[in-house]
Amino acid sequence: MHSFEFYNPTRVIFGRGTVQQVGPAVAREGAHKVLLIAGGGSIRENGVYQAVTQSLSVSGINAVEAWGVRPNPELALAQQLVQIAREQQVDGVLAVGGGSVIDTAKCVAAGVYVDNLWSCFEKRCPIDKALPVFVVLTISASGSEMDSWAVLTESEQHRKWSISSPVLYPRFAIVDPSVQTSLPWRQTVNGAIGVLSHIMATYLVGSFEETTLALDEGLMRTVIKMVDQLQADHADYGARANLAWAATLAMNGLSAAGIEDSDWSARSIESAMSALHPEVAHGAGMAVILPAWMTYQRENNPGQFQRWARTVWGAGTVEEGITAMKTAFQRWGAPSTLGDLGIAAGELRDIAFNALSEGPLGKLRILTARDVVELLKPVL
């Protein structure tokens, strides 16, 4: 196991009925006026919005509401919200939603203190100060509720890049699995596939970090088992709760502790694709790209790929493990080809060069644009 430093200051408030604790939680952090960021309105339908605003009101917290965050959130909206945050002089940012809403909130929190938000993504401006970020989670997928990362799309040049800073860890995250029972099935599936991909980005680079690898294997098996249970009963609270906690643990640092590095090239390829096609959800894209990426990379850390196939899927070979994963994705109703996502063969080069725009691609093996094209051809 390699040396590491684990740090995660986010307080998690987990369980049924915990949304009502948001007001007191914000008050404990010393905030009095928050920018409440949300998506397209689903939180009005499932009762979360009413619970949040009532709790804030009772606790004496003023809220300035900002709606309209979409999947694959865009820089332009974040910049607009930065201006609102400045004008309204808020002292905190409250994300009520999933990963796209949380990432937007983090970017707004940082953007208040910089002249050019995108310069942070270009690594030209350090992020050393941010408004406090608070989270009420409504879909378990990205793990952004307990990590320091955020992703935005700059739509003019189709760049979907990330930022990270210790100051972007949410102060607290409220995770009430019961509010996720009304999610459309495809969102549950997309979220779960995203969780698996997050774990595997580090796990497949590992070799001898037994404690962390065993934790990762348990998380992956849990995700698979819980999605199968939820397919039979969408309202199964126990399955929702276990899936939610697994999703949080997948990105809070524990699942990577002691592993020297990680390989996010599959995610980068998906980000490049969804930057060109914002209608493609991250999990849906990963359902297609992840098996193709694993097939292409399987000889670069063969022992670890073999372990993954055996311990997660009970398979005898890596190929059988990949087949088992693809079968599960198809059973859950996920897309299996780029064609299912509306991606044509003529777009592969654009996706490849876009994936390389943020820097070198890969750890198990540095991928070229040609590699990316060859990787994707079998799943057209």
Give the residue extent of every domain in the chain. Answer: 11-178, 185-379
Q: What is the mean pLDDT of residues 207-212?
A: 96
Alpha-carbon distance of 47 to 119, in angstroms, equals 38
- What pLDDT score does 232 carry? 97
Instruction: Measure Cα distances from 346 to 46, 155, 276, 338 in Å.
Output: 41, 20, 13, 12
Q: What is the mean pLDDT of residues 79-99?
A: 98
- What pLDDT score does 193 carry? 98
Q: What is the mean pLDDT of residues 94-123?
A: 98
Q: What is the mean pLDDT of residues 290-315?
A: 98
Tell me the pLDDT of the chain averaged across its residues: 97
Whether residue 19 contacts residue 174, with contact meaning beta carbons closer than 8 Å, is answered with yes
Alpha-carbon distance of 318 to 19, in angstroms, equals 42
Q: Is 64 helix (H, G, I), strand (E, B) or coil?
A: strand
What are φ and ψ of residue 94, in 5° steps? Answer: -110, 115
Helix 318-332 vs helix 282-297: crossing angle, to nearest 10: 170
Q: What is the mean pLDDT of residues 221-234?
A: 98
Tell me the CATH class for 185-379: mainly alpha
**% of the chain exceeding 90 in pLDDT:** 99
User: Is pLDDT above 90 for 297?
Assistant: yes
Q: What is the mean pLDDT of residues 102-109?
A: 99
Task: Outline where 233-280 has alpha helix (H).
Answer: 237-251, 265-276
pLDDT bin (cut points 50, 70, 90) of residue 131 is very high
Tell me the CATH class for 11-178: alpha beta
Q: What is the mean pLDDT of residues 25-54?
A: 97
- What pLDDT score does 358 carry? 87
Instruction: Measure Cα distances from 61 to 9, 20, 26, 214 in Å.
Output: 23, 13, 8, 43
What type of residue is 174?
I
User: Is pLDDT above 90 for 363?
Assistant: yes
Please indicate whether the domains covering 11-178 and 185-379 agree at the CATH topology level: no
Length of the chain: 380
Q: What is the mean pLDDT of residues 367-378?
A: 98
- Residues 151-190: tens digit of each pLDDT: 999 999 999 999 999 999 999 999 999 999 999 999 999 9
pLDDT bin (cut points 50, 70, 90) of residue 55 is very high
